[in-house]
Amino acid sequence: MMTRRQALASAATTALLTATESFAMSPKDLIITNAKVTTLDRGNPVAQAVVIRNGKFLAVGTEAEARAAAGPDAQVIDAKGRRLIPGLIDSHIHVIRGGLNYNMELRWEGVPTLADAMAMLKRQAENTPPPQWVRVVGGFTEHQFAEKRLPTIDEINAAAPDTPVFILHLYDRALINAAALRAVGYTKDTPNPPGGEIVRDAAGNPTGLLLAQPNATILYATLAKGPKLPPEYQLNSTKHFMRELNGLGVTSVIDAGGGYQNYPDDYNIIEKLHADGDLTLRIAYNLFTQKPKEELKDFATWSTKVKPGDGDDTYRHNGAGEMLVYSAADFEDFRVARPDLPAHMESDLEPVIRLLAERRWPWRLHATYDQTIGRALDVFEKVNRDIPLQGLNWFFDHAETISERNIDRIAALGGGIAVQHRMAYQGEYFVERYGAKAAEATPPIRKMMAAGIPIGAGTDATRVASYNPWVSLSWLVTSKTVGGLRLYPVANRLDRETALRLWTEANTWFSNEKGKKGQIKAGQLADLAVLSDDYFTVPEDQIVGLKSVLTMLGGKIVFGEGDFAKLAPPLPKPMPDWSPVATFGGYWRGGEANAKLAAACGCASSCTVHGHDHAAALGANVPAADVQSFWGTLGCGCWAV
């Protein structure tokens, strides 16, 4: 006799295949109707329906106008009155590197308590075979936990006595257990590397705490010692990461490269996915130099092999950075004082900027502090006198403490600024060091916009802040950290439409794609997200919980949930089978997971895990695949009935 689990899974699979086949054979025109469409097209700001033809919006207006524009045999999707927005664009994320590792990483993003986080860690340690590690790599802060602290080394060792554990907390520290110390070979005799500290006990033995002093090299170098996934698993991992982003409404990203991401070797996986037509995100990628003192050589070599714009609308080269020269990197660990950059920074940076300007390569430069920005602008202005920079679409990333003077200098040179929600994760540390008054404009987004500078938003995921765009949008609108601290006065907050524009049409400037996407407008690429709730009317504190229930890339469905689940393409099971993704998924959905489990299996109201009652939503329409994805998170076993 079939169990309830088998029956639900079988029915869901049959429905999914039927819907997918039907959609694949559908006519080329598609109408989405009964929607609250936010177009971000000032000439046509709201609509009720859209028509998609050949991957682009054909018409945007009323249902009658849409049906009149579409072919007579067009397929129709009823949005059921939901909010429909342009697909979100992340202007700063490390998606290519992140995809290679996503299936190996346990996510603490959004987890509300340290107790929950440690229960997840313990379970994953039990699931993970040797010589693999349990990795918690960024996207969280101690301030999000009810306990307002990180785990101790003793707690980590107790949860995982035999499996190596690596926990990265922002840019400031990593916590590794005794098994990981053995795996990486850190002993009493291991010297501290430049810019980092291996914290030791009274006898001189490493404790398991690694500190960035003042840069993160020791953290990332230690992480790089862990096992890697084989190529076929990396393909699977990248597919799962892309689907996770699609489920949050993301359709495009600008990849900012990253440490230990060498070109072209570490781009083989993403390029195969592109060649096979398996990308569910549009990716514009920047090249990040890897070798201190050899940065000019890197860019000189790369600029003979690829040029900005090479590729297509799905995968294309975008320029240089965010690392241009190592001497210009000012890692933002607000737990320590601002690092002083070396005196030779300008002489290192100038030849690189001259090369990029001569070869018309846009660039992006990581710069947290105004002092770094000012010194970089001295170089940019010097080069500009010989080679005009206007039209290059170069920009700074981060710019938390930028001054009005340097904002004006950027505007005069035709540059932009990409901002990220790192302050949502580090705001408490900034206030502790510099005071609440100094934190009121970190970064001063309103002043940047008033100066006419192109401004876009992103996450800087995955190793510091979360990849969840709704955390960023919540921060832009409310000014609150994930720990609940309100940072900014009203004058430096954004209204919801302005914040959404920074996540859509404004970000197209940073990839030289203005007018091609970012709005719901006839002629633009048909990238869109239908939301789980109405972004414009939910209470402010609920913005962070939004997601997509239907995401389309060029008119092709890449994600569906709930009423739209049957339309979504199937996703292969996570590889390897011990992957944290198989048990916990990605961004924390603990309460939702409990409700879904209750709805699918009908467990009793007395069945609780970690204090969460998951019998509140009996009878809800929950796809079996979702339940299978979430049941392991709860660990109560009632799914087996």
Cα(174)–Cα(209) distance, integer angstroms: 6
pLDDT in tens, 125-162: 999 999 999 999 999 999 999 999 999 999 999 999 99
The answer to whether position 549 is within a domain reads yes
What are the helix (H) ranges across 460-618? 469-478, 496-502, 580-584, 590-601
The answer to whether position 1 is within a domain reads no
453: left (phi over 0), alpha (psi -120 to 50) or beta: beta
The answer to whether position 579 is within a domain reads no
Supply the pLDDT for residue 629: 41
402 and 310 belong to one structural domain: yes
How many structural domains comprise the chain?
4
Whether residue 193 has a cis bond before it, omega within 30° of 0: no
152 and 246 belong to one structural domain: no
Instruction: Render 180-215 in DSSP notation, one character per residue.
Output: HHHHHT--TTPPPPTTEEEEE-TTS-EEEEEEESS-
Residue 115 host element (H or E)? helix 114-127
Q: Give the predicted TM-score (pTM) of the model.
A: 0.90
- 3-state SS, residue 442: coil
- Taking alpha carbons only, the member of 126, 91, 103, 207 closest to residue 504 is 91
The answer to whether position 7 is within a domain reads no
Please report the beta strands in 96-160, taking only residues with DSSP state E, as ranges in sequence order: 134-137
**CATH number for position 545:** 2.30.40.10
276 neighbors 306 (Cβ within 8 angstroms): no
pLDDT in tens, 45-88: 999 999 999 999 999 999 999 999 999 999 999 999 999 999 99
Q: Is pLDDT of 262 > 60?
A: yes
Supply the pLDDT for residue 535: 98
Position of tokens 């329409």? Answer: 621
Supply the pLDDT for residue 466: 97
Mean pLDDT confidence for 331-352: 93
pLDDT band for position 27 (cuts 50, 70, 90): low
Percent of the chain predicted with pLDDT > 70: 88
Supply the pLDDT for residue 595: 40
The residues with which 56 forms a beta bridge, in sequence order, are 53, 525
Residues ≥6 apart with Cβ < 8 Å to 486:
478, 479, 480
Cα(219)–Cα(170) distance, integer angstroms: 10
387 and 424 belong to one structural domain: yes
DSSP, res 613: E
83 and 140 belong to one structural domain: no
The residues with which 50 forms a beta bridge, in sequence order, are 32, 60
More confident residue, 3 or 203: 203
Burial classification of residue 455, based on how many CB atoms lie within 10 Å of its CB (0-12 exposed, 13-18 middle, 19 or more buried): buried
pLDDT band for position 620 (cuts 50, 70, 90): very low
- Any idea of the CA torsion for 602, 603, 604, 608, to the nearest 10 degrees? -140
243: left (phi over 0), alpha (psi -120 to 50) or beta: alpha
**CATH number for position 437:** 3.20.20.140
197 and 63 belong to one structural domain: no
pLDDT band for position 637 (cuts 50, 70, 90): very low
pLDDT in tens, 268-319: 999 999 999 999 999 999 999 999 999 999 999 999 999 999 999 999 999 9
334 neighbors 430 (Cβ within 8 angstroms): yes
Position of tokens 């004058």? Answer: 491
Position of tokens 């389309």? Answer: 552
Q: Is pLDDT of 21 > 90?
A: no
Q: Is pLDDT of 638 > 70?
A: no
pLDDT band for position 440 (cuts 50, 70, 90): very high
287 and 425 belong to one structural domain: yes
At 484, phi and psi to the nearest 5?
Answer: 95, 0
Burial classification of residue 293, based on how many CB atoms lie within 10 Å of its CB (0-12 exposed, 13-18 middle, 19 or more buried): exposed
pLDDT band for position 634 (cuts 50, 70, 90): very low
254 and 298 belong to one structural domain: yes
Percent of the chain predicted with pLDDT > 90: 84
Q: Which two tokens stand for residue 282?
A: 């549009």
598 and 539 belong to one structural domain: no
49 and 97 belong to one structural domain: no
**CATH number for position 107:** 3.10.310.70
The answer to whether position 362 is within a domain reads yes
DSSP, res 506: G
pLDDT in tens, 447-497: 999 999 999 999 999 998 999 999 999 999 999 999 999 999 999 999 999
Supply the pLDDT for residue 195: 84
313 and 202 belong to one structural domain: no
pLDDT band for position 357 (cuts 50, 70, 90): very high
Cα(433)–Cα(439) distance, integer angstroms: 10
The answer to whether position 493 is within a domain reads yes
142 and 260 belong to one structural domain: no
Please report the beta strands in 395-535, taking only residues with DSSP state E, as ranges in sequence order: 395-398, 416-420, 455-458, 528-531
The radius of gyration of the chain's CA atoms, rounded to the nearest angstrom, is 24
Residue type, 535: Y
Give the domain extent around 622.
Answer: 589-640
Residue 340 CA, chain-centre distance (Å), reads 29
More confident residue, 184 or 621: 184
Residues in the chain: 641
**Mean pLDDT rounded to a whole number for the chain:** 90
Supply the pLDDT for residue 43: 97
Cα(569)–Cα(559) distance, integer angstroms: 7
Cα(463)–Cα(475) distance, integer angstroms: 18
231: left (phi over 0), alpha (psi -120 to 50) or beta: alpha
Please tell me the chain's helix, strand, coil percentages from 3-state DSSP, rounded to the nearest 5: 40, 20, 45
301 and 410 belong to one structural domain: yes
Burial classification of residue 598, based on how many CB atoms lie within 10 Å of its CB (0-12 exposed, 13-18 middle, 19 or more buried): buried
The answer to whether position 302 is within a domain reads yes
Secondary structure tally for the chain: helices H, strands E: 20, 25
Supply the pLDDT for residue 536: 98
The answer to whether position 6 is within a domain reads no
In whole angstroms, how far apart are CA 579 and each of 125, 233, 304, 349? 11, 10, 39, 41
Q: Is pLDDT of 609 > 70?
A: no
